[in-house]
Chain A
């Protein structure tokens, strides 16, 4: 495992962040995850990643998806999670929090809620329950909503206003509304043209992370059970790593999964995506360092 942090550090860009693949274009997702993954290492790599994140933050508090982009995006929640691990940067975190509170899926507008309720019924969901989009101007989806809920819960753990409580509640309601029939989450909706969609491992793991401190409803239990079963068979690095990170916060046994991930990584699987490499490192260190997506009650 000691090779993984070094490998991730070596892929750091001269400006301090990380790209996804072999390019010079800093990715906010890859940089946020890498900064989290290397935070317990002795080197300055994590710090330089955080500095690059701070440079990339927009005036309005949001983050673009990558260096060169000018629009705020879903990665704002991940960047806030990375900064939430630090005690500093209160101003940057405050601005990010306000950006997230203001951002909403397109169903957040009364006109689209009305359209989804009356004219557009092929996709079954309750448009009154909305969360966060990948990019402004589109609908709410599971992964950006889950990351936003985690970031806001972490940021407001000591001082939660009515507005943030309301937004968290609405996001949680949206996730529960979009859950697949037998548990778990697809990318967004659960039923299209009357046919139930199959859950995705990664989306389910991330949605469960967002619901870790919520009442264990039947749907959460079913989803947890689905994730447990699928974690045992999934063979891709990213999905397995997210399973470990999620199952850990539900006090599920993860030793066997960590061993399997270590074997896959040790077998020389070519992990070109730095976000995946960082997530794998976080999963392998799970239980040995502060979990970056844990929500304190």
Chain B
């Protein structure tokens, strides 16, 4: 058979594709799958941070019939820096969530965070206004940067890290709730419930910031961490969000939403759509849609408001313009 250039290229692509499929079959990238046939999401309209949040949130949580009775809950907010602006998950929402889970029958609520840049965790907790909420019974804060650690084999292999030391407070909790601030991110595109889990990686071992995760690939590390520590529920703070040069230096964007979901991929895909982004273009979301949760809209059951396109998409750095959804 005469092998011309077109045939040669065609054969090469075919061999490469077959090799890729075979490699994925022989050495799968993940050993777990949390994806269910359908996921549930509720988008709550909330204009401001006020005492009304707790009642709204409780009504929203009741839509999901969560199995939290008698269980220990870990709330993982996004507390990064002692900076002004919508950098951190709002403390009114964190406090309200903690009280709601206690009202739903949880025995204990731990608010756990390992700030990524600021070594002085007390400073971040003070600046975020969290201290008054910690005075309440059964609500405790744990500095995940300095908690007791256990070595854990990762349940996915995108980053090549293989294993990570992770905090006992996270590994021992029965029910993990990721509470991100809805923000753009100058390395990852967006920071939502999945990226928020960088905060469980301890600074005492990996530093401030957790730079090894950046060197190992941000999207890859997100996938590995979230495969290893499954997120059971998401409460995303999109009341005042951040656009532009997030996660620290962007501008406030009034979105007026709290997103609740029993699936982190569905939550993040919904948040991305609310931001005017195509979730398929966020690498860790498109890949996470294969095993961490549901990305496709037809697999996401909306319990409350439907997701409409924003009047104006979130502004992004030029490097991330590809995230913008194409108007149909």
A159 to B290, CA, bound (A): 60
Given the complex, which residues of A lie within 8 Å of B151, measured CB to CB? 68
Whose C-beta in chain B lies nearest to the C-beta of A203? B119
Q: Is A141 a contact partner of B207 (Cβ separation < 8 A)?
A: yes
A144 to B148, CA, bound (A): 21
Q: Is B205 a contact partner of A23 (Cβ separation < 8 A)?
A: no
Given the complex, which residues of B lie within 8 Å of A276, measured CB to CB? 122
Q: Which 6 residue pairs across A and B have the least CB separation, nearest first?
A: A134-B207, A23-B148, A20-B146, A138-B211, A236-B122, A236-B123
Interface residues of B (CB under 8 A from A): 83, 117-123, 126, 142-143, 146-149, 151, 165, 168, 186, 203-209, 211-212, 214-215, 245, 248-249, 317, 319
CB contact list, A274-294 vs B, under 8 A: 275-276
Given the complex, which residues of B lie within 8 Å of A73, measured CB to CB? 205
Q: How far is the CB of B114 from chain A (nearest CB, A)?
A: 12
A273 touches B (CB below 8 Å): yes
A133 to B212, CA, bound (A): 10
Q: A20-B147, A21-B147, A144-B207 are in contact. List 4 more A-B contacts (CB 8 A).
A: A21-B148, A65-B205, A68-B151, A198-B83
Interface residues of A (CB under 8 A from B): 19-21, 23-25, 27, 29, 65-66, 68-69, 73-74, 106, 122, 133-135, 137-139, 141, 143-144, 186-188, 192-193, 195, 197-198, 200-203, 234-239, 272-273, 275-276
Q: Is B148 a contact partner of A202 (Cβ separation < 8 A)?
A: no
Q: Is A188 a contact partner of B209 (Cβ separation < 8 A)?
A: yes
A29 to B208, CA, bound (A): 14
Q: Is B148 a contact partner of A138 (Cβ separation < 8 A)?
A: no
Q: How far is the CB of B30 from chain A (nearest CB, A)?
A: 23
Q: Is A66 a contact partner of B123 (Cβ separation < 8 A)?
A: no
Given the complex, which residues of B lie within 8 Å of A187, measured CB to CB? 117-119, 208-209
Given the complex, which residues of A lie within 8 Å of B204, measured CB to CB? 20, 27, 29, 65-66
Whose C-beta in chain B lies nearest to the C-beta of A186? B117
Q: Is B211 a contact partner of A139 (Cβ separation < 8 A)?
A: yes
Q: List 26 A–B pairs whose Cβ atoms lie within 8 Å, in order of A's numbering.
A: A19-B148, A20-B143, A20-B146, A20-B147, A21-B147, A29-B204, A65-B204, A69-B165, A122-B186, A134-B208, A135-B207, A138-B212, A141-B207, A141-B211, A187-B117, A192-B186, A193-B186, A193-B245, A195-B245, A200-B120, A236-B120, A236-B126, A238-B119, A238-B122, A273-B143, A276-B122
A238 to B121, CA, bound (A): 9
Given the complex, which residues of A lie within 8 Å of B249, measured CB to CB? 192-193, 195, 197
Given the complex, which residues of A lie within 8 Å of B120, measured CB to CB? 200-202, 236, 238-239
A171 to B248, CA, bound (A): 27
Q: Is B122 a contact partner of A138 (Cβ separation < 8 A)?
A: no
